[in-house]
Structure 1
Amino acid sequence: MGITSFAVREVDEKTGSVTYALGGTAPLGLEDISRLLVTELGECYAAFTSFQALAAEQETYVAKENETMLAAMARTPFTEP
């Protein structure tokens, strides 16, 4: 969607002079971008599904151990580091 290589430095091998050319590479086509975005969307869904599974695992652990953790915190006074 953007332009790359907007400014190009060119050196004349014979004279050693340097010039800068403005131009660029044509942007990606809509079909290319659409295909890449569909792939990326699948990766996003997979990552979110994994995150949901991790959160559910943590929720299950905390719910199960809640009473034990609260009792341990009540017995151990908080001290400043």
Structure 2
Amino acid sequence: MLKTYGLSLGAGVLVGGIYALMGVNSPAPPLIALLGLLGMQIGEHIIPLCKRLKNCQPVTLAWFRHEYAPRVIDTPPPSDDKAS
């Protein structure tokens, strides 16, 4: 897991260095880029939540931990957790 974060950070530093050497700015200001990423995450997670609510299924903490925690923190779901 840490290797993935390190590679991602390294790639970002490399691209930033290339931009600096070429004398160009990043395509998007950092705040706008971060807001775009936040929007992507919200969009990715809102659809399954809406489907669950539409099917009158409960939205429990166990379900949230099983469905979303692995995606957010990049770990496998707990084996003792059952999505209700």
Which bracket does the TM-score occupy, shorter chain normalised? 0.3 to 0.5
TM-score by length of 2: 0.33
Q: Which has the larger radius of gyration?
A: 1
Q: Which one has the bigger helix percentage?
A: 2
Q: Which of the two has greater strand per residue?
A: 1
